[in-house]
Structures are given as structure tokens and as C-alpha cells.
Amino acid sequence: MVNTIDARHHPCLGRLPGRPDAFLLLLAWFDSGSMLKRLLLRRSILIPGMGGVASMNKFVLMVNGEKVEVQAQPEMPLLWVLRDKLKLTGSKYGCGIAQCGACTVHVNGSPMRSCVLPVSAVSGPVTTIEGLAEGGELHPLQNAWIQHDVAQCGYCQAGQIMSAAALLAKNKNPDDDDIDQAMAGNYCRCGTYIRVRKAIHTAAAYYDADTSSTKVTGAGQ
Amino acid sequence: MSLSSISRRNLFRVSALAGGGLMLQLNMPLTALAEDSGTLVQSKELNVYVQIDTDGQITIYSSIPEMGQGIKTTLPMIIAEEMGARWEDVVVLDAPLDAGRYGLQGAGGSTSVPRNIDTMRRMGASAREMLIGAASLLMEVEREDLDARESKVIHSSGESMTFGQLAAVAVRQPVPDPEMLSFKDPRSYTIIGTSIGGVDNLVIVSGQSQFGIDVDVPGMKFATYARCPRIGGRATAFNAAEIKAQPGVTDAFILQPDARAGKASMGFLDGLADLRGGVAIVGDDTWSVLAAREKLQVTWDESGASQDSWEQMVEQAKRIAAQGGGEVRLDSASVAPAFAQADNRVLEAFYQFPYVAHVCMEPMNATAHFKQGDAGIPDTMEIWLGSQFPGQVKEIANNMFGIAPENVTVHAKRMGGGFGRRAVHDFAAEAMAISHRIGVPVKLTWTRPDDIHNDFFRVGGFEQMKAAIDSDGKLAAWDQHYIGFSKQGKPVIGSGLRGNEFSMVALDNARVTQSMMDIATPCGAWRAPGSNTNAFVEQGFIHELAVLAERDHLEFLLELMGEPRWLSEGDVNALNTGRAIDVIKLAAEKAGWGKTLPAGTGLGLAFYFCHAAHVAEVAQVSVDADRNYRVEKVTVAVDVGPIVNHSGAMSQVQGSVIDGLSTMAGQQITMENGEIQQDNFDQYPVMRIAATPQIDVHFIESDNPSTGLGEPALPPLAPAVTNAIYAATGVRIRSMPLSELGFKLV
């Protein structure tokens, strides 16, 4: 059986009212945890199989522009499909409850917490940090991240950059409030937030320069 | 050199690399490199750090584990500087674990720079002398007329040869006598004292960096390990048939507690990390074993389990504080009369700080591969993990399984945070025990709840403070009773006052006592152990005294420092009140101390000396009627001597301020009947980006030895903020975290 999007396999089907797929997607998307918290409080892991015999299904995903087939339980979060099955380890496990954002990837261009997104609910092409650079050229954010020496331990940085990339895709000139809002779902335990902001401004300036050729990139420290 | 010029250079490098694809050759096996590259020098000491290829690439090995403190960039900068290398020509690789060649390969206590800086300078200078020797031969000129810079040896005539051209001959030059080495004039530095980005930045931003959790070994299984919720309990039975029948599960079994895992030659780690009893589930991927674990039902034997209760600890501490007493650490004869004197004003205060967890962003994990030996072939263990002291893992394998250290291979990976947690290797013992049982490679990944429940916590504690102010508004007596925690009578890491606390070394009218309560909860090093809590008490209480004395806090604090003096001349770990005064004055001046602020906004000052660093911080905080507080700005003045890498130093200070704020704002670990009550980030929040203050950092690069900066900027943050809240509102904060008092960081 091949599933690309099939809400019937959604593990929370029996638990959530209305349209569970849309509901969970909403949670995974930019949720800082309040809804999930109530749902999943004190769980070591999220969304265990909900009754019945869990079965391995074949899923066809588009990941970083490549079509891939994976055998997985429908409720397996996209994060573990990426990390364990596809060996794309750039997206990180941090909490499993959509609190820390280390697992952030794009689905259909939107930032999603892949640790709570069942593979069966993946509704479109997936981009991970490994696929952010295009045609061998780093994304402006990746360059800006290097320019500002943002990373300390580096573990959360893929998630930070993916959230920032989704912001810049929508808003080429974000102010600090826009940035704080877009990055609210991403923890940095090392405390790189100041340079995260700077790097996003620098990358935004790059876009600006690209279109108007009037602004110099690289704000520096 | 400004960061922006460095950045342009980095961009160029990145673009060049990106043009060839993002796959970098940084994972080339070291053995291959060692075989391929000409060894620069015959000295055993030198060739382990520096290699030059004939194409001019300079490879510098980094021997200290990297956890985000930037050491993998900082130490190679020092070698490159003394060599006369161009930083663009330098590639930094992780050195293999080899204590015989590199000495202690460990990171902790903000010691990596002071412990290694002289060795790094010697390695670089020695390489330079050999390159100059080679150039002297090949160019047929006098050594005295040669100089090394920009990866070239340059003659006074302007003629030059590149390091690459010289490499083959340099290899055969005699190794200079270390005593005869000369070092560059700091005024001619082109690398030290600049801002250089992390050497792994490109692999990090492109998702290619390999942390322990990313390791992939052929044939590897995945494991989760469920320990008794009450620390110290053991598993006696579980629903094995059901668990083994779960999809993707290949095995499940009980591991018994094993005290041999906790034995360690490094004293502060000894006895800390026994293997805890529990149930291991092994399977084909992480998710399968985690999903199976949800169905796990275990019978626990809790006869030896912890009964610790935070609420009971608080009650007991209050009783002890009221009784007084305790072990006397310091007692000046002038204290009792000062309290008895009628016209002295006396203040008493009870301070409290909680247990906190490390919550490294990368949860604990390790991948182990045990191979059983055969006739004549010994057992071997291979292990991949992030560790602050990877050499310790060899000892654990030896203690637990009798595998000789030479048959244990440790691959130390970049750490997704350390903060002291990865000094303890319980997770490595678990992974090795699981692989030992099943005989195939296995990756053990802790869940976040595992990571919080099984931490080696920053210890909580209490201090009963009392002081007298005389009629001139001066400190007449100081009485400090520390109430902390011990294990089998021995204070746990971070509990109790260090011998060099300000109150113990700089006041001549002080009494200091200490009481300990025995606990079972495991405690370990957490960024600036001891200091990160005592700073809050000491610097908060000094502010209370300034208020009582109706004195300006800045003036009062400077008066306590007294005359500029080094309490133990030449010892960087001894307070130098002159350096203290300098940073306090600078932070105050830069923060605009004394300026008029809007109602509800205040400035708070704190100073702390630890890890050989003098750091003062001023926080500007606004508080509204609902106790929402915003830390608008933190001004930091730091003296750790000359800065090696300004970008890295700035990162450490910013990170310490944010870590300090995050911790004081809402972090607290509590336990009830031995069970940790917080599970995940929803109950143990880390500060998010919106609360980030402006952080204004000033370095006094005094003419003292360079010392470390991973920890010392954290302790003064909490008292600076609570003192500012007092200035803004008149509310005195004597316990952490602030969320428990109804204060909300915004």
C-alpha cells in the first residue's frame, strides 16, 4: 500500500474532534506548545500507536527535491524517518513535544516541528537543512550565520535557520519583533539569540541588495 | 581586524567550497591523513599538532573536546599566530584520543585556555623555527634575516618561500630547544586578538556536522533505556513478551545496577555515575523502541531508592538556619562584639536556590560496539559519543568488562552542549552494557525526559545571612551560614563555600559556617559550580546592606574591595581587588550608573570572581504592576587578560548572560520521594529569543595571563537582575526561580 497523505492512519484519529490531520498540522506548525502541552503532558514520547496492530506502510515522500520511498509505521514522526531511515541527521531531536524547534523542517514551505508530525500526515514536499542550499550555493542565511559566527555548540542551529528561512520567504524585511515572533519556537541553550537576530537582518539585507542593488550586505559586528 | 573583514574572507572560503558541493572532506580518517601528509617535525610533541602539506595546507589538530565553548578555534589560532601562518591556509581537525601524545584531553572549569596556551605557543614557535631553518638552507641566507608571516618565510630582501615549498626540508630540521624559543611581540599579532569564526561553522549551517547522536555505524541497532523513576531503584521483571512483539523491536532485557561504572580516576567524578538498573529495548530505529517503551510495564524494587523530597529539604534547612551552628570555616573575633553593639544596625536574610538541570540541547546518547574476542584475540569496545573527558570512557569499559584500555577506541564527537553534564558518562556505560549484551553496535538515545530525570543536577541550597552596619554606614560584621547537601557526609559538587569566596578572603570581620544535609539525588558540575548560586546570595545581600546603610551600592561595593591588592601575588585563582575595582567601575560607567530612569525601571550591580576571572555586570530592568519584568540591557565588564578570539569571547559572555537569565527566570528541579518531578521543556522552560536583552560587553585586556571565559560571566547575572528589580520596585528577591514569586520574564 502506498500512502502519500492519508489521514485515516492518523494515530490521533480516535482522540481528536473534527479534522485531526489539520488540527495536528496546526499544532506542529509554529506551535509553542500550549495545545500540545495539554494533550501530551508528562509523556516521554509523543503520539504512541493508538490501539490495533501497528503496521508498516510504504510512504512516498519528496525530500529535498528527491522522491524517496520509506517503510514506516504511519505514526512515526517525520523526524525519525529523516534521521534513522533516510540518514538525514541535520534535523535534530530535542524534546519530542514541539517545544524546542531543533527538528524544524519545511513542509510545503512552512516550518514544521518534525518531531510531532506523523509521516502519514506529511502533506507535501519536505525541505531539510541539507536541502536548503540550492545549486551548490549556500542560502543567504547560511552565509550570514557564518559571517556572524552565530553557532556555539551548533545543535539547535539547523532548526533556527529553517525557521528563519521560512520567515524570509514571506517577509524580506523583518524587524526585530517579526524575528522574535518567527523564532519563538526555537530554543538555543547556548544563548546565541543576539547573533541569530543579526544574521537574519544581514540575510534580509542580502535580498534587498539583490533586488535593488543599493544596500551593502554584511552589517558586521 | 574587524569581524566584517574576517567575514568577507569566510564568505570567500565558503563560496569556493560550496561551488564544489557541500560535502566536505572534513571527515577524512585521521590515519589516512597521517599517512598522506608529511610530518613537519620529528618531535613527538610537535608533529601531533601541526602538519604542512606541500600544497601549503596547514593542518592543526585540536585536542580539547568542543562543546560550544569555541576551543577548537581558539587554541589553533594561537599555534597559527606563532607559526606565522595565514589563517586561510589552516584546516583544523580533531586530534584522536591519545593521552600519551596530548595529555589530558578534557574540557571543564574554564581551564582550556590557561592550561594550553603556553603549549600552543611553543608548538607554533617551534614549527616557525624549523620552517626558518629550512628556508635558511634553501635560500642560502642567514636565519637572522628571515621572518615567518602570511604562511611564508620572507627574507629581508623581499624574497620568500611558502610554507608548502619548505615543508619537506623543514621536516628534517632539528627540533628547537624549548628553552631557546622566542615568541612574537603581541603588537605584531594578526590572528590572536581578532574575531575569527568557528572552524566548524560551514558544516554546522549546512547540517553536515556530526554530533554523537548523528553517528551511523553499519549494522547498528537503536536502543532506549527505562530507569526506575525513583533514583536508585532496580527492575526485577517486565512484560518482556509484549515488548519484544512490538513492531521494530528486536530485543528487550533488564540491566542490573553496576557500581563499577562509577569508578573514575578523576577524583571529582569518582563514585558519581553508577550504572542504574532498568530495562533496555533494542530495535530497528529510534521511534520503534520509543513507541514500544510506551507499553512497558516494569516491576521495580525500590528498597534502595532515593526518598529525597525538596519540600522536606526546605523545611529542614529553615530549621538548621534558625538553630545556627555548623562547621566553622572562618571566625573573626570582631564579629560577636559588632552584633552586640547597640548602635549597629543588623540585617538577617534567608536565601534559597533550587536544583537545576543541564538540558544540553543534544540529549545524552552514545553508540557502542562490543566485539567478543576469541582464542588469542581480546575483547574490544568501540564507542562514539560527546564527552568533556572522553578518556574516562576507557576506564569505564575496563572497570565494567575488563577490556584493556588499548582495546577501547573512543571517538569523541562534537557536543551539542556540555555545561558540565558531559563530564559524567553514565549514558556511555549504559550503551556499552547494552552492546556487551547483544554483541552488535547500538546507539542509545535518551529522550528529553530521560535527560532531565537522570541528570547530575546543579545542587540547590540555602544561606542564612546576617550582618551589622555601624553608625558610619560601614560593614561591621558579616555572618554567613551555608546550608547545603552532601552524599555520605561529603559535600556534593557545587555545594558549600569554596575557600576563596570574597567573604572568606577579603573581609576581616566575618564568620562563615557550613551545614550539610545528606541526599541521594545525584549532583554534578553545572556551569560555574558553587559560584552560580553563591554569587546570587553574596551580591544580593551586599546590596541589601548598602540599602540598609543608605549608601550608594557602587560606592559601598568599592569600599568593601578596599585597597587594590592581589590577595595572593602571582596566583591567577586569587582575587585581585584592583582588577575587581576596575571592572566594577567600568561596568557602572558604561551602564550610566546614577542616571535618571523612568518609574518602574532600575539598575542593579553585581561583581563576582571565579575561574580566575573578574566580572562585573549591571542590569537595567523594567517591571510592571503585574510583575512582568523585562531585562532591557546588561552591561558586562570582564578582565580575563588578553582575549585570544574576540568573537568567541563575545559569544561566551552573551551566552552566559542569557543562560543566567534563563535559569533564574523559571528553572527549577524538584523531587518528591526520590522522583524528579519535571519531565520536559513544558515544565522546565529555556528562555526564548524575545526576552533577550541588549548585552553590552567590555573587555579589560589587562597585562595578566589569558584565562577562560566559559563560565565566569554567568554568576553575576542573577544578582544584577534581582538588585535591579529591587531598585525598580522595592521588592527584595531572596529565592529562585523568579517564576515561583510571580515574576514573569518578558
For A106-150, how does the pLDDT look when each residue is reduced to its tens digit (9 = 90+)? 999 999 999 999 999 999 999 999 999 988 899 999 999 999 999
Interface test with A, best of B12, B206, B662 (most A CBs within 10 A): B206
Chain A, residues 147-206, CB within 8 A of chain B, namely 147-158, 161, 179-181, 183-184, 186-197
Q: Name the CATH topology of B528-746.
A: Aldehyde Oxidoreductase; domain 4 (3.30.365)
Q: Choose the closest CB to B686 out of A161, A179, A187.
A: A187
Is ipTM > 0.85 here?
yes
- Determine the pLDDT at residue B125: 94
Which has the higher per-residue pLDDT, B23 or B526? Answer: B526
| Rounded average pLDDT over B265-278 | 90
Closest CA to B710 of B420, B398, B380: B420
How far is residue B310's CA from residue B524's CA, in Å, rounded to a whole number? 17
Indicate whether B36 pLDDT > 70. no
Residue B35 banded pLDDT, cuts 50, 70, 90: very low
- Determine the pLDDT at residue A208: 74
| Residue B629: strand pairing partners | B623, B745
Give me the long-range contacts of B41-46 (CB less than 8 A, separation at least 24): B41/B126, B41/B127, B41/B130, B41/B170, B41/B171, B41/B173, B41/B175, B42/B171, B42/B172, B42/B175, B43/B126, B43/B175, B44/B101, B45/B101, B45/B123, B46/B123, B46/B126, B46/B127, B46/B175
Bridge-based pairing state of the strands B146-149 and B90-94: unpaired
Indicate whether B45 pLDDT > 50. no
- Determine the angle formed by the axes of helices B112-139 and B163-170, rounding to 10 degrees: 90
Residues of A whose CB is below 8 A from B422: none
To the nearest whole Å, the CA of B256 is away from the closest chain A CA by 22
Q: In what order do the strands lie in the sheet containing B408-412? A: B249-255, B278-283, B221-227, B442-445, B365-371, B380-385, B408-412
> By the CB < 8 Å criterion, does A65 face chain B?
no
Which has the higher per-residue pLDDT, B319 or B43? Answer: B319
Hey, are the CB atoms on B654 and A192 less than 8 Å from each other?
Answer: yes
Indicate whether B336 pLDDT > 90. yes
> By the CB < 8 Å criterion, does A209 face chain B?
no
Tell me the three cell numbers of residue B377. 584475540
Hey, are the CB atoms on A54 and B447 less than 8 Å from each other?
Answer: no
Q: What is the CA B745 to chain-centroid distance, rounded?
A: 25
Q: How many CB pairs under 8 A join A and B?
A: 264
Chain A, residues 88-117, CB within 8 A of chain B, namely 88-97, 99-100, 102
Indicate whether B6 pLDDT > 70. no
Residues of A whose CB is below 8 A from B4: 147, 218-221
Which phi and psi (to 5°) does residue B162 adopt?
A: -80, 160
> Are the C-beta atoms of B56 and B120 separated by less than 8 Å?
no
By mean pLDDT, which of A127-141, A205-219, B2-16, B185-199 is the weakest? B2-16
Hey, are the CB atoms on A129 and B4 less than 8 Å from each other?
Answer: no
What is residue B106's three-state secondary structure? coil
> By the CB < 8 Å criterion, does A44 face chain B?
yes
Q: Name the CATH topology of B3-205.
A: Aldehyde Oxidoreductase; domain 4 (3.30.365)
What is chain A's mean pLDDT, rounded?
Answer: 79
Residue with cell 485515516: A8
Indicate whether A34 pLDDT > 90. no
Residues of A whose CB is below 8 A from B451: none
Domain locations in chain B as residue ranges: 3-205, 214-304+359-453, 528-746
For A149, the closest chain B residue by CA position comes to B197
Q: Choose the closest CB to B206 out of A75, A129, A188.
A: A129
Domain locations in chain A as residue ranges: 2-131, 140-212
Q: Name the CATH topology of B214-304+359-453.
A: Aldehyde Oxidoreductase; domain 4 (3.30.365)
SS3 content of chain B, % helix, strand, coil (to 5): 35, 25, 40
Indicate whether B317 pLDDT > 50. yes
Q: What residue type is B276 in one-letter code?
A: R
Q: For the domain A140-212, what is the CATH code?
A: 1.10.150.120
Q: Could you name the CATH architecture of A2-131?
A: Roll (3.10)
Q: What residue type is B380 in one-letter code?
A: T
Tell me the three cell numbers of residue B520. 541521594
Q: Greatest CA span in chain A, whole angstroms?
A: 62
For residue range B174-206, list pLDDT tens digits in order: 888 888 899 999 999 999 999 999 999 999 999
The DSSP letter of residue B388 is S
Hey, are the CB atoms on A145 and B201 less than 8 Å from each other?
Answer: yes
Residues of B whose CB is below 8 A from A145: 201, 204-205
- Determine the pLDDT at residue B229: 95
For residue range A149-203, list pLDDT tens digits in order: 999 999 999 999 999 999 999 999 999 999 999 999 999 999 999 999 999 999 9
| Rounded average pLDDT over B312-322 | 98
Indicate whether B585 pLDDT > 50. yes
What is chain B's mean pLDDT, rounded?
Answer: 91
